[in-house]
Structure 1
Amino acid sequence: MRLLSDKLKLYLVLETKYLLMPLNDFLDEVLKGGVSTVQLRNKSQNIDDKLQCAYITREITDKYGALFIINDNAELAEKVSADGVHIGVTDENPEIIRQKYSNMIIGYSCNNKDDVLTANQYADYAGIGPYTETNTKKDHRQILGRQGISNINSMLNIPAVAIGGINLDNAEDVFSSGVAGLAVSSFLCMSKKPYDDAKKLLEIINERV
């Protein structure tokens, strides 16, 4: 559990449509900057393009010793030898995934007590959020803020990352909620200097560990 917590410290939710540079270059930058887990989201991408992105991401995360997670597709995760899958309340059934892919890391999105019950039973880590409004997910659930994230985190018996609109201005406040790490999407994906911004985020986290 300690090892997984360490890997969750700086967690990238990758949306390739926002990138300002080629995927290979971007991944090199953020992983050098301190990202320790990459989740490939790309919800609207067709399966062939997503598969290509997944293979590239698997190769580069391997090079840096980072975890690679696929969003809401355990079959794809197995196909590309990803470390795990991240699901939410409307996605694949976590109980079935646990039975079918016993060695796969399962992440589960948490926004309320019911989510916590599911996560504690079937998941290896949780994503708590949203912290605030986010550029990448307009159909988000109830905004939690720091206190809401802290409350949900206290009910979990697995490590968690906070997610939702996190950037350099609010990272310290979010991390003070007691989570194991911060999950960031648009702030890094839209960055012109992803290495520098990842490094700054990790410094904020490490100052509070």
Structure 2
Amino acid sequence: MITLKKYVFGYGSLINCSSASKALNRNLSKEDIILVNLINFQRNWSLWDEVFSLKLQKNVKGIFLNILQSQGNYMNGIIIEVSDEELKNLVIREKNYDCIDVTNNIEFTDKNLSDNFEVYSFIGKNEYIFDENILDGYIFENYIKIVDVGLINISEEFRNEFYKTTLNRNTSILEGAYSFIDYNQQKLV
């Protein structure tokens, strides 16, 4: 019986090895990631989650990166090998997303894997897609920094491609720390 290796496609904070390490409860380094493109998807700022803003001292909607199916487009990202238990932790961390199989949409840019693998990613649940009319929605500067540090640690070329393949958003950027309201989610961030 052939055992399939499982991978998760990271396109936001999971690109940052430190952030991914917290979710997986193990130390990751640049050697643990494989650079890939996700075909027929596009990255954007459209997923919200309830967070507490330290600066505003109240709960607000934090806006985070998401992916949408988009024929003819692509986006860069990484894949990380995960165990079943680690994938379960990621499902808790990414609670406002559905975990989907994107194996057939993966294009290797770095190195190839054998044929015995499957790749999962997280796509926002419809009820958590941010509507421009919602008040108190912010992209947190700290989240941008987490993502950017991960990008820089890979390469400047990868970082440039990331921004080229990410749709911009006209949402306010808020300084300061934030924490997720959901305790089980927060402890994996």
| TM category, shorter | under 0.3
TM-score w.r.t. the length of structure 1 is 0.26
**Structure (1 or 2) with the greater helix fraction:** 1
TM-score w.r.t. the length of structure 2 is 0.28
**Structure (1 or 2) with the greater strand fraction:** 2
Structure with more relative contact order (C-alpha pairs < 8 Å, separation 6 or more) = 2
